[in-house]
Structure 1
Amino acid sequence: MELDLYVAFTRYLTTFVFSFFIYQLFASLVNYTQLKEREALWPMVMCLTTAAYCFVFAFNTHFINQKLSDFLLMIFWVCAYSSFYSYIRTIEVYLKRRIKKLEFAKLYCVFLVSVQIVCAISTLLFNHNFLFDEHNYVKSNLFAQTMHFNVSPNIYGKILGGLGALVVLYTCIVIWIELNRLKRNEVLLKLGIIVTFLAVLNDTALGLEISGAILPLYYFGNAFEAVRFNLYFQRKVYRKLFNLENEVVRLSRIAQFGFAAASIAHDIRNHIFVLKIGIDKLIKGREEDPQQNYKSLNKHINKVSEITDLYMNVFNKNNANEKNNVSVKKIVDEAIELVAPKYKNSNVELIVDIEDFSIYCNETEITISIVNLLKNALEEVSFVDKYQSPWVQVHAYASKRSICVTDCGQGISNEIASEIFNFGYSTKKGVGGHGVGLAITKALLMRSGFQLGLLKDSKNTTFEVLF
């Protein structure tokens, strides 16, 4: 083979393999950022050092000066054995245990890398290398001509290199046996072991100058391992994401039950308040019509039971709640009955203006919604001292098929309006506000296919239920 053809082939092949390992490096980086496990760093280091090996290889085919070319020969060894050490560590991570038989192999890799670093520094600073001697190559040694080397291993370099080759071969055998013992059908890893085994024999022949017309092929073995390890860590990432998704589902269910508990407590409290007033009247003998009071108490007890059933259905996503055509006037009257005691005990005027029409709905759901809006408006105008004659109005519009609850407030800012329907958000924190009522109301109405919104063009604060 002509030297120019040999150089071109070396450059293109090595550049291609360099690109492959850069891709695998970024794939490993993505896996690490998802897993946040230190063990996931080892395949990254393996890909990085192998890519560096290929880069140095391709770079040295462009001759700059003799000293640099001889220095890069040491860097080949540093990259190669750093990569092999990372490979051993990654195998142990993959098998989830330390392999005692490979402790010596790891130790030798560290030793050899350290020695080569010392040699590289000595070459740069003192023009002396205790593992290589100057040598005049014959023209037939294409590899030496391509890399522009004028040094070759002395007896110490050959001993270290030979031991290094034996360590690699020994490691390959140990890993193969370990995979068989664990009954792992690892085609990629075993193929990588075979290629590494053959590549080391090839590179040893090249290093011992048995042949000078072949390329170092060590990096080919790492290609299979890089793919296999990235597949392994990618699968771990998918498993982690799947577990996180399950955890989110579990927490959302917990939050849902918490929302249900808050909703039930919030709406039952209205009926309990009416029950308490009725019972107090009976106990103190101030009830003029006890029989009517008993009917009212029984009615509200039934409503409490209905509300608990309602919320069990809501939060179990059961749409089997009974629905009928119901008069809007009846719904508003029911709601006013529940909030009347609170309005009576305040100085807030309640104005009712109803254009009756019917809607197909679950009566309890819509009644709860109107009650929450009336209570929210009452609390809002009672909370602010600046209103001398506070009022709240409930108006039903047959033409628009809507119910509006308006208070004497001057509207709500855009910033608050964007948050007001969120569960837990309240403008009255610290004075009884829990941020439950409006969130529950919107959830109930949306579930029924209706809409709840804040009218922005209204002079006063107005919530509109649109059927």
Structure 2
Amino acid sequence: MGELDKMGEWTFITKKNQHVPVLLKVKALKDKKGEIYGYLGIARDITQQKLLESQAKLASMGEMIGNIAHQWRQPLSVISTIASGVKVKSEFNQFDPEQIFPDMDTIIQQTQYLSKTIDDFRNFLRESKEKESINLSKVVETALSIVQSSMIDNNITVVVNLKNNGLLHAFPNQLVQAIINILNNAKDELEKKSDQKLIFIEAYAKDNHLFIEIKDNAFGISNEIISRIFEPYFTTKHQKQGTGIGLYMSNEIVTKHLKGEIKAQNCKFKFNNKMHKGAVITITLPLN
């Protein structure tokens, strides 16, 4: 263990054979000569945190299944239409062998798209055991590929402006998850609107930090609750629609795993010569 402090997750087993997850911090104790004579360990019960993480993962899986359904519906419809057309034409002796080649090319194109969506979701679900040097544009691209269909279905326009595309040393899927949670929250608020629905994703660097801003035009957050939106189980949505875990997990990921900060505030901005009012959530991450 050496002279360095160590911290990690362990499982303690009680006398009643109960398994309790804890965050254990161990510190070396030294005498006046600087020699280690023992170790001090402090354990914190993280059962509640693990429960929230488990619930967040289940909620994320539910969102993902919905997104897969959205993304697969159109290509499956195209394939079904082509297959039905070939069958009907054959039954009425109107089948043109020359037409089969462009039809098969379309089917191949659609199946390749389906295969890509499987890869995107599988890579997202894969847990990274070590931090990696990740490109911000790739993170945003992955997040958008997962929620794209639900954004289209809700007539939401997503505008991306990455003024800085620096490398981050982080767990890539965790940052993707944090961004997806924020995007889904914005989408849910925008569903209440009948006119133009907008989400902006912007990034810039300042003072050796990377700032990621996700902004919408959903009229903003009530001043009475804006300070509570990162609390666990806090939601203003109907019970069937919201769990109150998404933004909480984004906060946990950013502050505890990525060593950054996250905040929410209301804003007014101009887009295409029209004033809009909404909320902006800002993620601040160290670039080193």
1:417 maps to: 226
Counterpart check, 1:300 vs 2:121: yes
Deviates more, 1:398-407 or 1:437-446: 398-407
Shift of 1:424: 0.4
1:450 maps to: 260
Shift of 1:433: 1.5
Cα distance in 1 for partners of 2:241, 2:71 equals 24
> Could you give the per-residue CA deviations for residues 17-71 of structure 1, whole angstroms, max 9, x where no partner exists?
xxxxxxxxxxxxxxxxxxxxxxxxxxxxxxxxxxxxxxxxxxxxxxxxxxxxxxx
Cα distance in 2 for partners of 1:274, 1:420 equals 24
Q: 1:460 aligns with which of 253, 267, 278?
A: 278
Counterpart check, 1:389 vs 2:183: no
1:289 maps to: 110
1:344 maps to: 152
Cα distance in 2 for partners of 1:457, 1:390 equals 15
Cα distance in 1 for partners of 2:279, 2:199 equals 10
Counterpart check, 1:354 vs 2:172: no
Cα distance in 2 for partners of 1:429, 1:263 equals 17
Q: Is the 8 A contact 1:423 1:436 kept in 2?
A: yes
Cα distance in 2 for partners of 1:263, 1:430 equals 15
Instruction: Answer 1 or 2: which has greater helix percent.
Output: 1
Shift of 1:268: 2.5
1:398 maps to: 205
> Could you give the per-residue CA deviations for residues 199-243 of structure 1, whole angstroms, max 9, x where no partner exists?
xxxxxxxxxxxxxxxxxxxxxxxxxxxxxxxxxxxxxxxxxxxxx
Cα distance in 2 for partners of 1:279, 1:389 equals 26
RMSD (Å), alpha carbons: 2.8
- CA 1:417 to 1:274, structure 2 compared with 1: closer, same or farther past 3 Å? closer
Q: How many residues align?
A: 205
Q: Is the 8 A contact 1:406 1:463 kept in 2?
A: yes
Superposed, which structure 2 residues align to 1:47-446 within 5 Å? 253-277=46-70, 279-280=72-73, 281-282=75-76, 285=79, 287=107, 288-304=109-125, 306=126, 309=127, 321-355=129-163, 356-382=165-191, 384-385=192-193, 387-399=194-206, 401-430=210-239, 432-446=241-255
Shift of 1:431: 5.3
Cα distance in 1 for partners of 2:146, 2:158 equals 13
Partner SS for 1:365: helix
Q: Is the 8 A contact 1:417 1:454 kept in 2?
A: yes
Cα distance in 2 for partners of 1:457, 1:279 equals 36
Q: Which amino acid is 2:205 matched to?
A: A
Q: Which amino acid is 2:79 matched to?
A: G
Cα distance in 1 for partners of 2:71, 2:149 equals 11
Question: What 5-or-longer segments of structure 1 have no aligned partner?
Answer: 1-246, 311-320
Q: Is the 8 A contact 1:263 1:440 kept in 2?
A: yes
Cα distance in 1 for partners of 2:160, 2:170 equals 22
> TM-score of the superposition, structure 1-length normalised?
0.40
Q: Is the 8 A contact 1:425 1:435 kept in 2?
A: yes
> TM-score of the superposition, structure 2-length normalised?
0.63
- CA 1:414 to 1:324, structure 2 compared with 1: closer, same or farther past 3 Å? same
Q: Which amino acid is 1:451 matched to?
A: E
Partner SS for 1:350: strand
Highest CA radius of gyration, 1 or 2?
Answer: 1
Q: Is the 8 A contact 1:325 1:359 kept in 2?
A: yes
Higher relative contact order (CA 8 A, sep 6+): 2
Cα distance in 2 for partners of 1:349, 1:279 equals 20
Q: Is the 8 A contact 1:278 1:297 kept in 2?
A: no
Cα distance in 2 for partners of 1:416, 1:268 equals 27
- CA 1:438 to 1:375, structure 2 compared with 1: closer, same or farther past 3 Å? same
Q: Which amino acid is 2:158 matched to?
A: L
Q: Which amino acid is 1:265 matched to?
A: L
Instruction: Answer 1 or 2: which has greater strand percent.
Output: 2
Cα distance in 2 for partners of 1:428, 1:322 equals 36
Percent identity for Structure 1 against Structure 2: 21
Cα distance in 2 for partners of 1:296, 1:410 equals 33
- CA 1:346 to 1:457, structure 2 compared with 1: closer, same or farther past 3 Å? closer
> Could you give the per-residue CA deviations for residues 57-114 of structure 1, whole angstroms, max 9, x where no partner exists?
xxxxxxxxxxxxxxxxxxxxxxxxxxxxxxxxxxxxxxxxxxxxxxxxxxxxxxxxxx
Deviates more, 1:282-291 or 1:417-426: 282-291
Q: Is the 8 A contact 2:266 2:278 kept in 1?
A: no
Shift of 1:412: 2.1
Q: Is the 8 A contact 1:353 1:395 kept in 2?
A: yes
Q: Is the 8 A contact 2:232 2:245 kept in 1?
A: yes
Shift of 1:343: 0.6
